[in-house]
Chain A
Amino acid sequence: MRTRRIIYTLVFLAVSIPLLLRWTARVQPSPPVEMAYQAIEALQPGDLVLVGVDFGPSTMPEMNPMYEAILEHLFRKGAKVAILSLQSALDLPNGVQVLEKVARRHNKVYGEDYANLGYKPGLEAVIVSIGQEIRDVFPEDALGNPLDSLPMFQNVHNYDDIALIIDLASGGTYGSWIQFAQARYGAKLITGVTAVMGPETYPYIQSKQLVGMLAGLKGAAEYETLIQRPGLGSRGMPAQAMVHILIILMILYGNWRFWERWQR
């Protein structure tokens, strides 16, 4: 028990010292993040992008930095951003807060440049319905405004009119977007996932079903490097690196002690 408490203390110090001293670390963007960046970079002003906010408070430290970095890039490119959630309505209050913060920074107007479509249960059924007519499932936005009254949705009916879909997911929603929006309707899709989900997402990059992918805080830090705006992701990287070094040292120490005992 005593050893365990020493380890907890070391981990706490490894996280808090870099945060307190505001250390920074250089991050090299990985190919999937670079691909996501290029896909957004290729957008034209006025293109509509659907952003799925499918992560809740439990994964906010990982997901919020990438969400903010992506929104920053989208608004810089002059894209129209519509957020929605197909996982849980609880995901949206945070999603709206971050969206409005970034929109304010770029002087964007609700309804013209960005909108909140709200939450809709039924995941796969909703994704398939958007392929036919978005108004069938979202006749109004989250504030009750008819979709036709929002200038950014004029002439937008289905995936043919949506330039890009970005699903930021802490669960399986991104899989449904791949299976139905991408495979059935050929929609272009980027996903941002928690680090735990990172390895299971890589095959979709290989199969070109995703045009880009960000995984965890590291993915966010890489994206922040690409848009040259260090944020929460970049600030967390030194602490992350410190804990990784600590874990590696502890594994080596544990193995060395084990080997020493085995020798005796």
Chain B
Amino acid sequence: MATVIGIWLAALLTLAIFSFLYGDNPFYKAAEHLYVGVSAAFWLLYIWSFTVAPNLLVGIQKQGLLGKDLLLIPLVLGILMLFRIVPKYAWYSRYPMAFAVGLGAGLALTGTTQGLLFPQIQATILHPFHSINNFLLILGVITSLLYFYFSREREGVMGWVARIGIYFIMIAFGATFGYTVMARVSLLIGRVGFLLSDWLHLM
């Protein structure tokens, strides 16, 4: 019974959202507001249940504040973050923010250099005349990078190089747009499939 109610609810809400295609209407508004309200409440409970409770509270119960994971530190940093709510003491939240930014920057710096920059440069060091793909890849990378070199006017050779670069960039945008259309259509297929199959049993 619960499944049937769930399917009907999902189907009616799907139709209410789709009704926006005809024009703004109360059904769409109701579905939209319901979505926003449920999401907000859900995320609050979610962060408590899946992040704070299992990683901090359960940990404190098991090993105390000064155990293996030194949970006193995240507890204090977490409390300091809440000081943002009180304008007079809001500056206390800068400590956990600084910790988060520092950690993020450190991870991003090593990760991006080791995992993105070097391997991608290495993958571009190819024999340009070994295959047409190699030639196009090298040409595309160099001309696209030079398109973003703004310290010199785009005249003469520089103008031609930048022009070739913009063609490569446009092809990349075209591919991205094509894939985006495909993704959106896939989502529509999923929803229509749900309506025809689970709800109406026509498939």
| Chain B proximity mask over A1-33: 1 for CB below 8 Å, otherwise 0 | 100110010011001100110100000000000
B residues less than 8 Å from A214 (CB atoms) = none
Shortest distance from the beta carbon of B174 to any chain A beta carbon, whole Å:
10
CB < 8 Å neighbour of A176 from B51, B111, B123, B181 = B111
Q: Who on chain B is nearest to A90 by CB? A: B46
Q: Which of B49, B114, B122, B192 has most A Cβ within 10 Å?
A: B192
Given known contacts A124-B107, A179-B116, A183-B114, A195 and B190 CB-to-CB distance under 8 angstroms: no
CB < 8 Å neighbour of A124 from B111, B181, B192 = B111
Q: Which of A108-116, A145-153, A237-245, A252-260 contacts B (4 or more CB under 8 A)?
A: A237-245
Whether B179 lies near A198 (C-beta < 8 A) is yes
Q: How many Å lie between the Cα of A15 and that of B203 in the bound state?
A: 13
A residues less than 8 Å from B116 (CB atoms) = 175, 178-179, 183
Interface size of B in residues (CB-CB distance below 8 Å): 39
Whether A19 lies near B181 (C-beta < 8 A) is no
Whether B196 lies near A16 (C-beta < 8 A) is yes
Whether A180 lies near B111 (C-beta < 8 A) is yes
Chain B interface, DSSP helix/strand/loop, else mixed: helix
B163 at the interface (CB under 8 A from A): no
Q: Which of B170-203 contact A (CB under 8 A)?
A: 172, 175-176, 179-183, 185-193, 196, 202-203
Q: How many Å lie between the Cα of A89 and that of B202 in the bound state?
A: 33
Shortest distance from the beta carbon of A113 to any chain B beta carbon, whole Å:
26
Whether A236 lies near B181 (C-beta < 8 A) is no
B119 at the interface (CB under 8 A from A): yes
Whether B186 lies near A61 (C-beta < 8 A) is yes
Whether A121 lies near B50 (C-beta < 8 A) is yes
Whether A218 lies near B182 (C-beta < 8 A) is yes
A191 at the interface (CB under 8 A from B): no
Q: Which of A123-166 contact B (CB under 8 A)?
A: 124-125
Q: How many Å lie between the Cα of A217 and that of B46 in the bound state?
A: 29
Q: How many Å lie between the Cα of A206 and that of B131 in the bound state?
A: 14
Whether A179 lies near B112 (C-beta < 8 A) is yes
| Chain B proximity mask over A221-258: 1 for CB below 8 Å, otherwise 0 | 00000000000100110011001100100000000000
Q: Who on chain A is nearest to B47 by CB? A: A121
Whether A244 lies near B189 (C-beta < 8 A) is no
Whether A206 lies near B123 (C-beta < 8 A) is yes
Q: How many Å lie between the Cα of A16 and that of B18 in the bound state?
A: 15
CB < 8 Å neighbour of A183 from B115, B172, B193, B196 = B115
Whether A216 lies near B182 (C-beta < 8 A) is yes
A residues less than 8 Å from B148 (CB atoms) = none
Q: How many Å lie between the Cα of A78 and that of B13 in the bound state?
A: 41
Whether A16 lies near B111 (C-beta < 8 A) is no
B150 at the interface (CB under 8 A from A): no
Whether A15 lies near B179 (C-beta < 8 A) is no
CB < 8 Å neighbour of B46 from A11, A22, A89 = A89
Whether A22 lies near B182 (C-beta < 8 A) is no
B21 at the interface (CB under 8 A from A): yes
| Chain B proximity mask over A80-101: 1 for CB below 8 Å, otherwise 0 | 0000000001100000000000
B residues less than 8 Å from A216 (CB atoms) = 179, 182-183, 186
Q: Who on chain A is nearest to B68 by CB? A: A136
Whether A15 lies near B182 (C-beta < 8 A) is no
A residues less than 8 Å from B176 (CB atoms) = 196, 199-200
Q: How many Å lie between the Cα of A184 and that of B182 in the bound state?
A: 34
Q: How many Å lie between the Cα of A258 and that of B76 in the bound state?
A: 64
Instruction: State the A residues within 8 Å of B (CB).
Output: 1, 4-5, 8, 11-12, 15-16, 19-20, 22, 58-62, 89-90, 119, 121, 124-125, 175-176, 178-180, 182-184, 194-196, 198-200, 203, 206-209, 215-218, 232, 235-236, 239-240, 243-244, 247
Instruction: State the B residues within 8 Å of A (CB).
Output: 21-23, 46, 49-51, 55, 107, 111-112, 114-116, 119-120, 122-123, 137, 172, 175-176, 179-183, 185-193, 196, 202-203
A-B contact pairs, 18 of them (CB 8 A): A15-B185, A19-B189, A61-B187, A61-B189, A90-B46, A125-B107, A179-B111, A179-B114, A184-B114, A195-B180, A196-B179, A207-B120, A208-B123, A218-B182, A235-B193, A236-B193, A239-B185, A243-B188
